[in-house]
Structure 1
Amino acid sequence: MSKAKPRVFEYVEPIGARVLVRKDEPKRQTKGGIALPDAAEIPTITGRIVAISAQIENDEDLPLRQYDKILFHPKSAIPVDFEADNQLYVVPVEDIVAVFRRESSEGEAAE
Structure 2
Amino acid sequence: MKKKTASPLEYVEPIGARVLVRKDEPKRETRGGIALPDAAEIPTITGRIVTTSALIQNDEDVPLRQYDKILFHPKNAIPVDLEHDNQLFVVPVEDVVAVFRRGRPDAEVTD
TM-score category of the 2 structures, normalised to the smaller one? 0.7 to 0.9
CA–CA distance in 1 between the matches of 2:50 and 2:8? Answer: 19
Does residue 78 in structure 1 map to residue 75 in structure 2? no
Partner SS state of residue 91, structure 1: strand
Give the partner amino acid of 2:96: I
1:1-46 alpha-carbon deviations (Å, 9 max, x no partner): xxxxxx8761100000000000000000011111100000000000
| Structure 2 CA distance for aligned equivalents of residues 35 and 83 of structure 1 | 28
TM-score (normalizing by structure 1) = 0.86
Q: Which amino acid aligns with 1:26?
A: P
- Residue 81 of structure 1, CA deviation: 0.3
Q: Which runs of 5+ in 2 are unaligned?
A: 1-6
Mind listing any 5+ residue stretches in structure 1 that lack a counterpart?
A: 1-6
Q: 2:99 aligns to what?
A: 99
Identity rate of aligned residues, in percent? Answer: 79
Amino acid at match of 1:54: A
In structure 2, how many angstroms separate the alpha carbons of the residues matched to 1:10 and 1:70? 24
Runs of 4+ in 1 over 4 A off after TM superposition: none
Once superposed, what is the RMSD of the aligned Cα atoms? 1.7
Superposition map of 1:13-92 within 5 A = 13-92=13-92
Report the count of equivalent residues. 102
* CA distance in 2 between partners of 1:21 and 1:97 (Å): 13
Secondary structure of residue in 1 paired with 2:47: strand
Distance 1:8 1:26 in 2: 28
SS of 2:10's equivalent in the other structure is coil
